[in-house]
Amino acid sequence: MLPNLATRYAQQIKTKATELGFDFCGISKAQFLEEEAPRLEAWLHKNYHGKMAYMANHFDKRLDPRRLVEGARSVISVLLNYYPDQKLPEGNDDFKISKYAYGTDYHYVLKEKLGELMVYMNQEIGEVNGRVFVDSAPVMDKVWAQRSGVGWVGKHSNLINRDMGSFFFIGEIICDLDLTPDGPIRDYCGTCTRCVDACPTAAIAQPYVVDASKCISYFTIELKEAIPQEVKGKFENWIFGCDICQDVCPWNSFSRPHKTPAFSPSPELREFTNGDWQEISEEVFKEVFRRSAIKRTQLAGLKRNIDFVSGQ
DSSP labels, 88-133? PP-STTS-EE-GGGSSS-HHHHHHHHHHHHHHHHHHHT----EEEE
DSSP state of 252: G
How much is the pLDDT for 312? 63
How much is the pLDDT for 36? 94
CB 188 within 8 A of CB 162: yes
Round to whole Å and give the CA distance between 141 and 135: 8
H or E element, residue 216: helix 216-217
Q: What predicted TM-score, i.e. pTM, was given to this entire model?
A: 0.95
CA-based nearest residue to 101, from 266, 309, 304, 286: 266
Catalytic residue status for 135: yes
Model confidence over 36-92: pLDDT tens digits? 999 999 999 999 999 988 888 888 999 999 999 999 999 999 999 999 999 999 988
Round to whole Å and give the CA distance between 255 and 158: 14
pLDDT tier, 136 (very low <50, low <70, confident <90, very high otherwise): confident
3-state secondary structure string across 255-290 = CCCCCCHHHCCCHHHHCCCHHHHHCCCHHHHHHHCC
pLDDT beyond 60 at 288: yes
How much is the pLDDT for 88? 96
What is the arithmetic mean of pLDDT over 134-154? 95
CB 161 within 8 A of CB 150: yes
283 Cβ contact list (under 8 Å, min separation 6): none
Q: Which amino acid is at 9?
A: Y
CA-based nearest residue to 245, from 145, 302, 166, 164: 166
Model confidence over 12-34: pLDDT tens digits? 999 999 999 999 999 999 999 99
Q: Which of 60, 135, 163, 197 is labelled catalytic?
A: 135
Round to whole Å and give the CA distance between 299 and 309: 16
pLDDT beyond 80 at 1: no
8 Cβ contact list (under 8 Å, min separation 6): none
User: How does 68-91 read in b/e, with b if 16+ C-beta sit within 10 Å?
Assistant: bbeebbbbbbbbbbbbbeeebeee
Round to whole Å and give the CA distance between 72 and 49: 28
How much is the pLDDT for 16? 98
CB 256 within 8 A of CB 79: no
